[in-house]
């Protein structure tokens, strides 16, 4: 076994390792399943997983509303329930592949998962509370508490009223038919299909209608900007991405892949938050020649779709590449679009492989 001082010098920091040991991606074998088995779905937890008592938990709706409400979990569960399959991805997915590497949770390309979430739609609750005419946004406050860039905070994100009243936005309290486990936001979380995961606030305990756009830390942090002092552009919906189950078998440490020669079916999943995925292309030569993969129906309107591609694997060294296009015309780039926070890097996945 080699020692660290003889290893490569990518120089992942101790702080990044601490985050990677807590927050995990989905091993790409998980692309095999329509719904990601519980425990394989990616997780990103900004601060600590808070303790939560289902029997005393409330979600308060307040601020610029005519009738403030305080909902118990019994109230929330007694309301009409919807179950929908949703593909969720971390906005930081792909961050660790950028050069220079922005220092945060060091995702490669595995920060994704698809689950069947059950909850009650948010809009009828907002109708009951009654928005004041000057309300422009809703702030969603979670119970996790910490500091980031020197700002002490409970985790908070906002949505415009128009985004919040979409049919698919839920207060979700079950995943795959079971109560949310602590790490997914128990007892209840916001679920905003199509958007990157930072929007789906976990451990939700307060919804505040406000008359001015919210400028809290997490709104500042999730923006595409070249330099820290730039205003930047808000990160919202997931860009298209296709991922492949790396074929063959791995070497334990290097994770290099070996495959026996012959006909092979490559497979994976593709998704986008901006519209259905309309095309998946595969290259077996590092991105020179591309062929269309076969697309299967999506698991649901807000969930990924499976793709397959028949490949005649010839002995030698190859680099497989896959990229998706969505109905809004977005195509995955071959090189990562660098930005200060390392967000929304949907550069195409590359899988080097030795065929023997």
Which residues ranging from 88 to 127 are in contact with a copy of itself (CB under 8 A)? 96, 100-104, 106-108, 110
Question: Residues 249-268: x/- map of binding to a copy of itself (CB under 8 A)?
Answer: xxxxxxx--x----------
Dist CA 111 CA 224 (whole Å): 19
Q: How far is the CB of 145 from a copy of itself (least distance, A)?
A: 5
Residues 238-274 as b or e (16 or more Cβ within 10 Å = b): bbbbbbbbbbbeeeeeeeebebeeeebebbbbbbbbb
Q: Which two tokens stand for residue 40?
A: 């394989």
- Please say whether the beta carbons of 343 and 111 come within 8 A: no
132-136 — which CB contacts under 8 Å span 24+ positions?
A: 132/64, 132/65, 132/66, 132/209, 132/211, 134/64, 134/211, 135/63, 135/64, 135/65, 135/161, 135/209, 135/210, 135/211, 136/160, 136/161, 136/210, 136/211, 136/212, 136/213
Under the criterion CB under 8 A, does residue 306 sit at the interface with a copy of itself? Answer: no
The CA–CA distances, whole Å, from 342 to 9, 88, 192, 202 equal 20, 18, 22, 22
- Give the span between the Cα atoms of 327 and 338, in whole angstroms: 24
Q: Which of residues 202-231 bind a copy of itself (CB under 8 A)?
A: 228
Kind and range of the H or E run holding 18: helix 14-22
Q: Judged by CB under 8 A, does residue 24 bind a copy of itself?
A: yes
241 touches a copy of itself (CB under 8 A)? no
Shortest spacing between CB 89 and a copy of itself, in angstroms: 14
The verdict on 177 binding a copy of itself (CB under 8 A) reads: no
Question: Measured from the CB atom, is 65 or 343 closer to a copy of itself?
Answer: 343
Q: Is 229 left (phi over 0), alpha (psi -120 to 50) or beta?
A: alpha
Token digits of residue 31: 């692309």
Which listed residue (48, 134, 226, 292) binds a copy of itself by CB under 8 A? Answer: 48
Sites for a copy of itself among residues 117-176 (CB under 8 A): 145-149
SS3 281: strand
Shortest distance in whole angstroms from residue 240 CB to a copy of itself: 21
Does 69 contact a copy of itself by CB under 8 A?
no
Is-contact 81 170, C-beta < 8 A?
A: no
- Shortest spacing between CB 336 and a copy of itself, in angstroms: 14
103 membership: H or E segment, kind and range: none
Residue 79 contacts a copy of itself per CB under 8 A: no
The nearer residue to a copy of itself, 4 or 288, going by C-beta atoms, is 4
User: Which of 66, 70, 167, 181 is the binder for a copy of itself (CB under 8 A)?
Assistant: 181
Options 81-89, 118-126, 328-336, 340-348: segment touching a copy of itself (CB under 8 A) = 340-348
Q: Which stretch binds a copy of itself (CB under 8 A): 30-38, 261-269, 274-282, 306-314?
A: 30-38
- Work out whether strand 349-355 and strand 316-326 pair parallel, antiparallel, or are unpaired: antiparallel
* Residue closer to a copy of itself (CB basis): 19 or 331: 19
The reply to whether 288 sits near a copy of itself by the rule CB under 8 A is no
Q: Rule CB under 8 A: is residue 38 a binding residue for a copy of itself?
A: yes
By CB under 8 A, tell whether 9 contacts a copy of itself. Answer: yes
Q: Does 46 bind a copy of itself (CB under 8 A)?
A: yes
CB closer to a copy of itself out of 51 and 297: 51
């Amino acid at each position: 076994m080699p020692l660290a001082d003889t290893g490569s010098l990518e120089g992942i920091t101790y702080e990044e390792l601490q985050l990677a040991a807590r927050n995990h991606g989905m091993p790409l074998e998980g692309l095999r399943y329509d719904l990601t088995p519980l425990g394989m779905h990616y997780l990103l937890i900004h601060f600590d997983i808070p303790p939560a008592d289902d029997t005393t938990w409330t979600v308060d709706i307040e601020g610029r509303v005519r009738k403030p409400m305080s909902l118990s979990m019994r109230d929330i569960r007694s309301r009409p329930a919807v179950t929908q399959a949703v593909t969720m991805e971390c906005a930081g997915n792909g961050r660790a592949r950028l050069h220079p590497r922005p220092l945060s949770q060091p995702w490669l390309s595995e920060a994704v998962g698809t689950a069947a979430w059950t909850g009650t739609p948010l809009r009828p609750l907002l109708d009951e509370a009654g928005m004041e005419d000057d309300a422009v946004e809703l702030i969603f406050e979670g119970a996790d508490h910490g500091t980031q860039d020197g700002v002490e905070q409970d985790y908070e994100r906002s949505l415009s009223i128009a985004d919040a009243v979409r049919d698919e936005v839920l207060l979700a309290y079950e995943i795959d038919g079971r109560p949310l486990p602590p790490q997914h936001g128990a007892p209840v979380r916001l679920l905003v299909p199509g958007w990157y995961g930072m929007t789906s606030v976990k451990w939700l305990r307060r919804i505040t209608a406000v008359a001015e756009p919210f400028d809290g830390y997490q709104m500042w942090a999730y923006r595409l900007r070249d330099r820290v002092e730039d205003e930047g552009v808000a990160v919202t919906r997931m860009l298209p991405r296709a991922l492949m189950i790396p074929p063959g078998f791995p070497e334990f440490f290097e994770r290099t892949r070996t495959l026996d020669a012959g006909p092979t079916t490559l497979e994976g999943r593709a998704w986008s938050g901006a519209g259905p995925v309309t095309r998946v292309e595969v290259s077996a030569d590092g991105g020179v020649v591309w062929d269309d993969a076969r697309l299967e129906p999506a698991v649901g309107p807000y969930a990924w779709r499976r793709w397959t591609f028949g490949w005649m694997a010839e002995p030698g060294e190859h680099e497989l590449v896959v990229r998706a296009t969505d109905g809004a015309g977005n195509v995955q780039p071959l090189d990562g679009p660098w930005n200060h926070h390392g967000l929304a890097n949907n550069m195409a996945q590359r899988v080097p492989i030795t065929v023997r």
